[in-house]
Amino acid sequence: MSEVPPGFYLALAGLMFTIGAVGALVRRNAIVIFMFVELMLNAVNLAFVTFARMRGNLDGQVLVFFVLVVAAAEVVVGLAIIVSIFRRRASADVDDVNLLKW
Amino acid sequence: MDLSASLIPGPDYMGLTATIILWPLGTALFLLLFGKRLSTFKVGGREIPWAGVIAVLTLLRSFVAAVAMFVDIVGVELAEGAVGHGGANVENARTFTVHMFDWMQVGGFAVGADFLIDQLSVVLALVVTGVGTLIALYSIGYMHHDPRFHRYFAYLSLFASAMLMLIFGDNLLVTFVGWEGVGLCSYLLIGFWFERPAAATAAKKAFIVNRIGDFSFLLGMFLLVAAVGSLKIEDINAAASGGQISGGIATIAALLLFGGAVGKSAQIPLYVWLPDAMEGPTPASALIHAATMVTAGVYMVARMGPVFLASEGDLALTVVAWVGALTALWAALIACTEYDIKRVLAYSTVSQLGYMFLANGLGAFSGGIFHLITHAFFKALMFMGAGSVMHALANETDMRKMGGLRKVMPITGATFLLGWLAISGIVPFAGFWSKDAILAAAWEQGEYALWGIGLFTALLTAYYMSRLYLRVFEGPLKHDPDVHPHESPWTMWVPLAVLGGLSVVGGAINLPWDLRLEHFLTPVLGEFEVPHGATAWILAGVALCVAVSGIALARFLFLTQRGAELRARLVTGSWLDKLLTASRNKFKVDEVYEATIQRPGHRFAMFSAYKVDAKGIDGVVNGAGALVAWLSDGVRRLQSGYVRNYAALFLLGVVVLLSALILRVGPLG
């Protein structure tokens, strides 16, 4: 059984990133945006791992661990913020949170 | 130089100099800091403030020290043939330099706080401290009602200190410190009653006009430093008389220095500040604007004589002589129609200073100094006499409202009479000898035009001083009905009496047949030719006749019935009337200055302030701010507050950056 070529993985990563980016821009629910952001992060992770495989070293894999750790921390902070916004406004719609502007 | 060598075996010149200069300075500081707390004491039912007593005693102390210095100097044996201003190579043994401390040292250029003691500086120190003591004593009586009494005496002491520093300065920089110091005190005293707008304006005018002269003086110093490499008067004079500086440089330097003298000594074209300076207290006018400060220019020109003598083709001296002669004439013309007694005296001072510069310009430096001294006596006397009149008449200065005051103020009247005869040039009063010496020098040098101007000015001088004296003191008693003229207290008339005596006998220091002062000053100032024999007698006789005719003319016009009628008939139309009107308007010099300098300057300032500064500079600064505000007004719309907008821009930015990276670096991998 032949190997899946790396280009496929990269194409998948690109597709996932695009879906994530578009989703993060078009959706209003903070939780959903959050999930799209996670999707973008994982697309990047997939790209990193593919690159590591293509170059035959571990640099990409190491970077993935960093991304995972930072993403975990980010999820903790982000969810806390979303929960706190929801408590105040009974809504997680990001378009409702627009006070900080000109 | 080795200080001890110059001081041993001589007396303690360092101590004497310090006493003369620093005591008045210390008194000034003390009075400024604590003067307000000083009380008064009573003598003969009269309150005398301690502040005045301290100032008088300080100046007296300085005077005594100056006398001691004078006695010491006279005691020094003088080598045969010591002639100053490069006339001979014999050292002037009566020159001493006192080195207080090193002031500054820049590379090879050093300036010390050095003081020069020689015949000239000691003689002038005697005049300044002597007349200063008398005027300070007089001021106790004159100023006793003033709430800022102590401050007046502080300024007076400060002035004395600065003036003495000017006189004793061994280098031009020390002299310049004194020069600026007296200018400051002049400003402070002219504006002493600064509540009066006229006084405040006059003070500013004096300061600014003097500034012009001081600037010229500074330029002269710069040029001399560049040409000679030293500011020591001794070095500069030696270089000038030794031919180390070229005639052209010497001419420019001399004229620049003379520019300073023109400002300080109120000569054409910078004389306009002195008449206005009469807004100050009268004793201050007597000391600063008659006897001492205004003569600083005369002293400086005489002191720097070799620089003037080194000038190409005597150009500098010619300029000095002509400026002096024309100023003498010009101011005398104005004085003839002035009604304010202090202003008559002010114009008279300008005119007499012109005589001194005429003497300097003829190279007759000691003649100028001689007139400086006698003028200090009789002009201080007359100023204080005028002050005494003002004191008696509730500060009235218009001579049209006065008359016959000798009957109620016998001492003031009698002493003023002495001053009047002295300045008019009546033998044997002091002014006759000194003025005659200058005119004789002009004649001897063949400068008949200058001699003629001087003689005509002498006529005018006799006329306008007689006009002043006769209108104020002679004739029927006349004054405002609500004042009660009275003789002034002893603190005021004692100085008048002393100066009156000096106005009579002051000429004795330099009588034409023994020329004691001139010979005393010769080692410093050099010699000048005076006529001898019959010429001298004829010239003196002519001067005397001219003075007598001036007095007779004034007496005819102001004391006789026919004279009064003649004056009444003169009022319309004639050329004389036009001249009188022009003179009464002071020849509109102030107006011309206002139109040509002041108003364009004002316009330029307004243009700078409201156009260049407010529009131009502020415009650039405000414009920069406005531009940023305008730009941010557009850009701030980006801050919509919608987090998805930010995310979209974020993405856009990433795309742009990545595209740029790829386009510039090429495809990844």
Q: What is the ipTM of this complex?
A: 0.85
Positions in chain B short of pLDDT 70: 1-11, 86-90, 571-573, 667-669
**Tokens found for residue B385:** 């006499």
CA atoms within 13 A on the CB side of B418: 26
Interchain CB distance below 8 Å, A100 and B644: no
Alpha-carbon gap, residue B157 to B149, rounded angstroms? 13
**Chain B residue with Cα closest to A54:** B669
Window 589-648 of B, Cβ < 8 Å to A: 636-637, 639-644, 647-648
The secondary structure of chain B in percent helix, strand, coil, rounded to multiples of 5, reads 75, 5, 20
User: Is the bond preceding residue B428 a cis peptide, omega within 30 degrees?
Assistant: yes
Alpha-carbon gap, residue B513 to B531, rounded angstroms? 11
| pLDDT of the residue at B669 | 53
- Of B158, B352, B172, B179, give the one whose Cα is nearest residue B263: B179
| Residue B262 identity (one-letter amino acid) | V
* Other CB atoms within 10 Å distance of the CB of residue B607: 11
- Give this prediction's pTM: 0.81
For every residue of A18-70, DSSP letters joined together read HHHHHHHHH--BHHHHHHHHHHHHHHHHHHHHHHHHHHTSSHHHHHHHHHHHH
Substitution target from B632, B642, B655 for chain A, most A beta carbons within 10 A: B642
Question: What is the helix (H) or strand (E) element at residue B433, kind and residue range?
Answer: helix B430-444
Is the CB of B668 inside 8 Å of chain A's CB atoms? no
Per-residue pLDDT tens over the stretch A35-87: 999 999 999 999 999 999 998 999 999 999 999 999 999 999 999 999 999 99
For chains A and B, count residue pairs whose Cβ atoms are closer than 8 Å: 31
Residues contacting residue B611 through CB under 8 Å, at least 6 positions apart: none
Is the CB of A56 inside 8 Å of chain B's CB atoms? no
Interchain CB distance below 8 Å, A24 and B636: no
| pLDDT of the residue at B59 | 95
